[in-house]
Structure formats: C-alpha cells, structure tokens
Amino acid sequence: MKQGLFDIIENTALTDNVMKMVLAGDTSDITRPGQFINIKLDGLYLRRPISVCDRDGKTVTIIYKVVGRGTEQMREMQSGSLDVLTGLGNGYDTSVSGDKALLIGGGVGVPPLYMLAKELIAKGVQVSVILGFNTASEVFYEKEFEALGATVTVTTVDGTKGVKGFVTAAMENADYSYFYTCGPEPMLKAVYNASRTSGQFSFEERMGCGFGACMGCSCKTLYGNKRICKDGPVLVKEEIIWEK
C-alpha cells in the first residue's frame, strides 16, 4: 500500500450516472487487476474505495457510479489533486486461467475486468467477456473491451441491447477453461450456480479503513475468516460461503 497525491486529469461521463476518472500519480503499488484505491474527499470522514479499471506507469483509471455524497462530490471535480491509497486488495490471479478465460461483469462490476482482460490477452489467453446491464442506456466499455481483442457479449435485463436477461443467459453456451467475475452479490451468486469451472469472484462490502486494520468488512470462508479489503476482494469459488 502507498499513500500519494494524484492529479485529476480527466473526469467524464460514460452514462447518465457512471463516470470515468483518470488520475496521475505514483501507480507503482498497483500490481494486479482487481485491486482498488481508497480516496479521501474533503468534508467526508471515510475514504471511498473504488476498483481500478486500468493503470499505466503514470496514471490510474477508475470508473464509478454516482450513488451518494462522495461520488456526487467526485463528479463535480474537474481538476485538483486527491489523497489516495493505492495497491489495496489481493486482486485477480491471472496464472490459473487456462487458455480460455470468461470474464463476467455486472454494472460497475465491469471496470476491474478491463485491466484483467488486458493482462490475460497480453499473456496469450483467449478472452470472452459478458457485460451485464439493466438497459441499453447503461451500457459502457463494450468497444473498449473489443479493442483489446476480447469477444464481447452484452446482456440487458430488458432486452434493449444484446442478449435479453441476466449475465447467466449468456453463460450457457460459453466455452471457457476458467472464469472471473465482479458485480452485485445476487449476480455473483447466480454466476456461482451457473458456472461449470472454477473461478474468482470480486466482492463488495462497506469498509472502514480498506487496508485490513478495522475488521469492518470481514466474511466467513471455508478457509477461515477473511477481510474483504485485505484478504479479498477476490475470493476463489471453492472457499465461498453464501450467507446473505
């Protein structure tokens, strides 16, 4: 984990309430896809944990949905700098993907899969991506995944774009050796039940610190208690206990 000041160099809308922000600063501690950063905002006590969509040597890209005070404040920022903790969370393990990886994202669970797809493709893995949204106007990053060389299937619950239904509708005929997923918990559970191979799940929880100190985001797994922020957010299929 590193603490640093990051300059806002881009903050643009992808949909009505989903924003893309690019921050420039020391990204050296972001080592794996699926990690997150934790942002301090003026006047708000706790930091805002947001998953990393992409990073290079100088910038980190995050995609966030405007849902409350913190993200509303972030939406208005066009310049300035932010106090950010980087390199948080375990992230996805790309070494176990086999030759055909299936990436399944729902809503703002999509962004961390972008850096994951990029790294898997760079390793020569064949990547298929299922991007699930409620409706056509909420869809983002379809073209960006295609530009990486991934095969993309979009699903919408109301059928206004792509395959009608949930992400699981597009999983039935997919051919994959391993899968990675991120999205709301009901979606993760559906993916768990529909999947035919092992895979990795990225979870979300209300966090205090985001770096393993407060035990605010603990969960039970078959391998013992884990902290979503430090031992997660990525858990493997074989250890998950569904409690909620």
Partner 1 sequence: MGEMKVNLCGIELDNPIIPASGTFGYGYEFAELYDINILGTFSFKGTTKDARFGNPTPRIAECEAGMINAVGLQNPGVEKVISEELPKLAKCFDKKVMANVSGFSVEDYAYTCEKLDKCEQVGWLEVNVSCPNVHGGGMSFGTSPEAAAEVTRAVKAVTTKPVLIKLSPNVTDIVSIAKACEDAGADGISLINTLLGMRIDLRTKKPVIANKMGGFSGSAIFPVAVRMVYQVANAVKIPVVGMGGVSRAEDVIELMLAGATAVEVGAANLVDPFACRDIINDLPRVMDKYGIKSLNDIIGGAK
Residues contributing to the site for partner 1 (CB under 8 A): 1, 3, 40, 44-47, 85, 205-209, 211-220, 225, 230, 243
Q: Which residues pair with 157 in a beta bridge?
A: none
Closer to partner 1 by CB, 40 or 75: give it.
40
Shortest Å distance, C-beta 212 to partner 1: 6
Q: What gap in Å lies between CA 134 and CA 115, rounded to an integer?
A: 23
Task: Report in angstroms how near the CB of residue 104 gets to partner 1 at its nearest.
Answer: 24
C-alpha pair distances (Å), 69 with each of 47, 64, 103, 169: 12, 13, 31, 35
143 or 244: CB nearest partner 1: 244
State the minimum distance, in angstroms, from the CB of residue 117 to partner 1: 30
The distance of closest approach from Cβ of residue 83 to partner 1 in the complex, given in angstroms and rounded to an integer, is: 8
Q: How many CA atoms lie within 13 A of 75 on its CB side?
A: 16
DSSP states of 7-75 as a string? EEEEEEESSSSEEEEEEES--TT--STT-EEEEE-TT-SS-EEEEEEEE-SSEEEEEEE--SHHHHHHH
Nearer to partner 1, 160 or 221 (CB): 221
Rounded Cα distance, 18 and 14, in Å: 6
Closest CA to 228 of 237, 218, 236: 218
Comparison of 19 and 229: residue with beta carbon closer to partner 1: 229
202 forms beta bridges with 182, 234
Q: Which is nearer to partner 1, 45 or 242 (CB)?
A: 45
Smallest gap, in angstroms, from Cβ of residue 123 to partner 1?
Answer: 29
* Identity of the residue, 103 or 207, whose beta carbon is nearer to partner 1 in the bound complex: 207
Query: Least distance (Å) from partner 1 to the CB of residue 72?
Result: 14
